Amino acid sequence: MALWKGMKKDPDKITSMSSLSPKRNQQVHKPPAEGTVEMLFTTLGWFIFASARQGDMTTGPAFQELERQYSPNGEKLDVYMPTNGPSQGRGPSEEKGGLCNPISFPLSRASSVPISPIAPPLDGPVHAYSAIQYGFPIVIYIHGGYWQFLSKEESGFMAVPLVQRGVAVAAVGYDIAPKGNMDLIVSQVRSSIVSIVQKYSHTSGVYLCGHSAGAHLAAMVLCTDWSQYSITPQIKGAFLVSGIYDLLPILSTYVNEPLKMTEDVALRNSPGQLVPQLKRSSSACHIVVAVAQNDSPEFRCQSENFFKDLESMGLTVTFADVPDTDHFNVIERFVDEDYQLTQLLLKIMEKN
């Protein structure tokens, strides 16, 4: 784990994703090696635009429409990626609230990423961003990318406004597919949550935030039977942003090609199927199910149905339909303190 503290002035580097991503009618090439900024742009574009896949899965208009619904369109988006720091969106190195070098700590391994007690470089399954103080709340962010792209290194963006308010922000990593399968990924994220809570037991509260596939993983954390672990994290809040809570619809889509989920795997890893366990494990958690106004109907349906399932169980749950946002900037705007979801997160923290 790495903790960030202090201030550092560093300008943003802004790049347009549309100039770097392949279009839908172009051949999609295998992404370069993980760990490069170029990899992020290429794989993110591949995940958004890929359609010329090989195989016999494409069977007709209904299937093609399902794939389109689960392929967020990023052609009009600008992705802000500082080349010198971990970020999705404007990162913690920017001028307003930038952070300097990390302090690293050993952390029990939850993924195959090497762990080192010294910094730099950044390593281990978790990065954390904050000044170190007793009794601070901690937000644990779980990245998206359809369980097969991105990493914790691109997940420092929401540290900017939160660190200024005395909140720690941890970014959790996991072995993305095809190296990691769904069962392994869920297990790794749960283990990372346990490690964070054990390391920082003096925090005033733990809050989860996940986007897209990360929202699915955050929801799976809420569904955990903690009797199988050495500790029961007291998770006070969870922000599930544009998530997928029923995995069955994506089994026949390109999303499942590297994951290779069977129906049984999809069912046991679908939070929508685990709401009774979620109530037993996370009844004290204030859950926010957020969705972008311009998300696809399938993504919106996933969020709406999951919200209704939680509400029907008597859980404390809020539905946030975020105006003037799409599947990507609905999470990127967490970099701004006055953003609707940032303000809601801070408000929930104040109540707790």
Give the containing element (helix H, strand E) for 209.
Answer: strand 205-211
How far is 291 from 319, CA to CA, in rounded Å?
Answer: 8
Catalytic residue among 127, 211, 216, 327: 327
Give which of 250, 302, 241, 296 is closest to 271, Cα–Cα.
Answer: 302
Domain containing residue 153: CATH number: 3.40.50.1820
How far is 121 from 243, CA to CA, in rounded Å?
Answer: 31
Q: 3-class DSSP state for residue 210?
A: strand
Give which of 153, 287, 149, 279 is closest to 218, Cα–Cα.
Answer: 287
Q: For the chain, how many residues are written?
A: 352
Range of the domain at 17: 2-351
**Residues paired with 15 in a beta bridge:** 79
How far is 83 from 12, CA to CA, in rounded Å?
Answer: 8
Question: How many C-beta atoms lie closer than 10 Å to residue 4's C-beta?
Answer: 28
325, two tokens: 């946002």
- The answer to whether 127 touches 171, Cβ cutoff 8 Å, is yes
φ/ψ of 341, rounded to 5, equals -75, -35
φ/ψ of 307, rounded to 5, equals -55, -45
Catalytic residue among 123, 246, 295, 309: 295
Cβ burial of 277 (10 Å; 0-12, 13-18, 19+) is middle
Cβ burial of 177 (10 Å; 0-12, 13-18, 19+) is buried
- The answer to whether 327 touches 79, Cβ cutoff 8 Å, is no
Provide the residue-wise pLDDT of the chain in tens; the chain has 352 residues.
333 332 233 333 222 222 223 333 333 333 333 332 222 222 222 222 222 223 344 556 666 777 777 776 533 333 322 222 333 343 333 333 333 333 333 333 333 333 222 222 333 455 544 444 557 899 999 999 999 998 887 788 888 889 888 898 999 999 999 999 999 999 999 999 999 999 888 889 999 999 999 999 999 999 999 998 988 999 999 999 999 999 999 999 999 999 999 999 999 999 999 999 999 999 999 999 999 999 999 999 999 999 999 999 999 999 999 999 999 999 999 999 999 999 999 999 998 8
Told to judge if 212 belongs to the known catalytic residues of this protein, a careful annotator would answer: yes
Told to judge if 270 belongs to the known catalytic residues of this protein, a careful annotator would answer: no
Residue 237 identity: G
Give which of 116, 110, 104 is closest to 3, Cα–Cα.
Answer: 104
Catalytic residue among 151, 155, 192, 212: 212
155, two tokens: 């997940």
pTM of this structure: 0.71
Q: Provide the number of structural domains found in the chain.
A: 1
Told to judge if 216 belongs to the known catalytic residues of this protein, a careful annotator would answer: no
